[in-house]
Amino acid sequence: MLKLQSLTLRRGTRPLFEQVSLTIFPGQRVGVTGANGTGKSSLFALLRGELHADSGDVQMPPKWVIAHVAQETPGVDSAAIDYALDGDAELREVEAALAAAEADPEHCGLKLGELHARLDAIGGWTARVRAAQLLAGLGFRQEELTRPVASFSGGWRMRLNLARALMCRSDLLLLDEPTNHLDLDAVIWLEGWLRAYPGTLLLISHDRDFLDNVVDGIAHIEQLGITLYPGNYAAFERQRAEKLAQQQLAFEKQQREIAHLQKFIDRFRAQATKARQAQSRIKALDRMELISAAHVDSPFGFEFAPPKSMPHPLLALDEACVAYGDTPILSGLNLDIQPGTRLGLLGPNGAGKSTLIKLLAGRLPLASGVRREGQGLAIGYFAQHQLEELRPERTAVQHVQALSPNVSEQDIRNFLGGFDFRGERALEPIEPFSGGEKARLALALIVWQRPNLLLLDEPTNHLDLDMRHALNVALQDYEGALIVVSHDRHLLRTTTDAFLIVGHGRARPFDGDLDDYRDWLAEREKAARAAQSAQEDAQSKAAGGPSAAEKREQKRADAESRQRLAQLRKPVERELAKVEKTMEKLNAEKATLETALADPGLYAEAQKAKLRDALARQATLARELETAEERWLELQEEIEAINARG
């Protein structure tokens, strides 16, 4: 199990955890939550051995293999599938040992047999297939599996890092915001994979639907402590609300008791007849462990002011086509966006969702078709690249002042306070701001401009749960039209009324909800596998070879054969290990005895009996060693004979 005992951790002079105790059992899947800056990522660094506790202990089995997603991806020339396979370090070690053994002209058949058995035990024969399935689930196309890592963009490299971590046969998997670089299709696939993961999982995520569908416990970090709640995120919210309500009741009760005691003390402290009773009440107050008031206030609170105008329609596309160069991306687009329209865009990564958003925002020209804008159309467009367009030398206040130079600084600071830019933070250059802070500022600038059409492309990346909740609430009361791309299903469920599915160069209505979309993806994947199998059968038959089904059957038969041989070897290998231990003990005793016999003092008249016993034991050891060595040779021959059957 993983155990924290009386753990205290500081970063510089700032405490993150104080006297924390936590136990997580093997196989648990735990979501790690808490406000930004409370120490979630530092906890992971501690478990990886990159940080050390100031006091207390971190205990886990010494043989546990820990997997995590690296934040940097080297621009190597390795193929994507090979990069993912590198995540299984033991697999690569066994493969290297096999290659060396096979290249040795005097290679030992026994050694080869042992390596093949080990490869079989760790699933090495199917590793490449598993790696391909991982990459496909994360959105990589078949033709991309052999592309060099260096040819992929940053977001796709992060997916490669995730595939590499999942490929590792780990005992403990640490995932820090794994969905940030994924689309909804990949998020749904990852959920299924994690539910089947046999090891212990710690998952940092601000996606409540993802947490609900994956974890069976929530480790919540607040006030320098970690509290483990059973159940998923929805259960955690209920339990925490009940706990805080009870804490508030206890606080109010204690405050009444304190007031009563203080009133008695103030009234009778000066009276000789009551002085002793007053003193006892003073001591009672001193001994009382004060209960803090429950505090769950979010630092965020903002809303969209009504748009200045609301034309009908806001924006329309008629038979629109958008292309990159001469290559059409989307065509036949017909959209009529009215005030109150609330659309979520669905579809795999690369299908054209962001392209459609850019087209609606006016960032891409039409290749053909008609675009009609209502008079007074005001678009608020959010995309991740806009964070890079913020001016790093400017403050949050200056960013808003650039939009409205005649508005007072105090009014701007009041507005920015709703996005948790308070006090001096609103007056500091934003260059050192975190990704979450910059995303909040970009959203604040959009809200300030009072758009009547909101186009949001993955707006929740880098936002914590409190800010996501505030955005949900604000969008629910927003009076204009909304079109959003997001892998956050909670946001899609609470803010949209209908869905468009984008793919195969088209955008068409999807008749169903997000659960229906999940089922549709599963059916599509099943149909794709069936089509691929049929294609492989046809190709094999045309070439006069075995069909795909026959190949699969042969692979299954080969695997069963290897398993049977492994079962036959097991008792022999167990006995061989015992014989080797016996030989090791006998040789150690023989060496000790020979050292004693080399001592001239042993041959003195007074040591005659001891010398006789030593010589007798030496003869016995020689016979026992000879017997053990003969049995060792017999067992080795048995193993070679079993391997030869394969």
Model confidence pLDDT, tens digit, residues 342-372: 999 999 888 889 999 999 999 999 999 999 9
| pLDDT mean across residues, the chain | 85
- Could you tell me which of 20, 22, 31, 25 has the C-alpha nearest to residue 1? 25
Q: Under CATH, which number does the domain 2-238 receive? A: 3.40.50.300
Assign 588 to helix, strand or coil.
helix
pLDDT higher than 60, residue 273 = no
**CA neighbor of 385 nearest in space, from 350, 354, 419:** 354
pLDDT at 295: 47
CB-based contact 502:352 (threshold 8 Å): yes
Q: How far apart are CA 310 and CA 612, in angstroms?
A: 111
pTM above threshold 0.75: no
- DSSP H/E element including 465: helix 465-476
pLDDT score of 277 more than 90: no
pLDDT score of 624 more than 60: yes
Q: What is the pLDDT of residue 213?
A: 92
Q: Compute how many other C-beta atoms are within 10 angstroms of the C-beta atom of residue 125.
A: 14
Nearest CA among 424, 488, 426 for reference residue 456: 488
Lowest mean pLDDT among 241-255, 270-284, 296-310, 585-599: 270-284
pLDDT digit string, tens, across residues 370-401: 999 999 999 999 988 888 889 999 999 999 99
Evaluate if residue 37 carries a pLDDT over 50: yes
How far is it, in rounded angstroms, from Cα 449 to Cα 480? Answer: 13
- Structure token pair of residue 226: 């970690």
Judged against a pLDDT cut of 80, whether residue 532 lies above it is answered with: no
Of the chain, the end-to-end C-alpha distance in Å amounts to 39
- How many angstroms separate the CA atoms of 519 and 132, rounded? 22
Is the pLDDT assigned to residue 324 strictly greater than 70? yes
Q: Is the peptide bond prior to 313 cis by the omega test (within 30 degrees of 0)?
A: yes
Domains 315-511 and 570-645 share a fold: no
**How far, in Å, CA of 434 to CA of 462, rounded?**
9
> Where do the domains of the chain lie?
2-238, 239-287, 315-511, 570-645
Residue 252 or residue 1, greater confidence:
1
Q: What is the pLDDT of residues 95-145, one digit of tens each?
A: 888 888 877 766 666 677 778 888 888 888 888 888 999 999 998 988 899
Contact residues for 8 (Cβ-Cβ < 8 A; gap 6+): 15, 17, 18, 19, 20, 53, 54, 55, 56
CB 267 within 8 A of CB 433: no
Q: CATH says 315-511 is which class?
A: alpha beta
| Encoded tokens for 604 | 């003195």
Candidate from 122-136, 205-219, 500-514, 554-568 with smallest mean pLDDT: 554-568
**Beta-sheet strands, E only, within 338-388:** 342-346, 368-373, 379-382
- Give the closest residue to 425 by CA, choosing from 403, 397, 444: 397
d(C-alpha 619, C-alpha 194), whole Å: 61
At residue 603 the predicted structure's pLDDT band, cuts being 50, 70 and 90, is confident
Asked whether residue 294 carries a pLDDT value surpassing 50, the answer given is: no
Among 51-60, 297-306, 620-629, the range scoring the smallest mean pLDDT is 297-306
Structure confidence at residue 75 (pLDDT):
74
Which CATH number applies to 570-645? 1.10.287
Q: Which amino acid is at 362?
A: G
Give the residue-averaged pLDDT of 411-440.
Answer: 90
d(CA 36, CA 364): 35
Token pair listed for 540 = 């094999």
Contacts of 138 (CB under 8 A, 6+ apart): 159, 162, 163, 182, 186, 189, 190
DSSP lists the bridge partners of residue 368 as 321
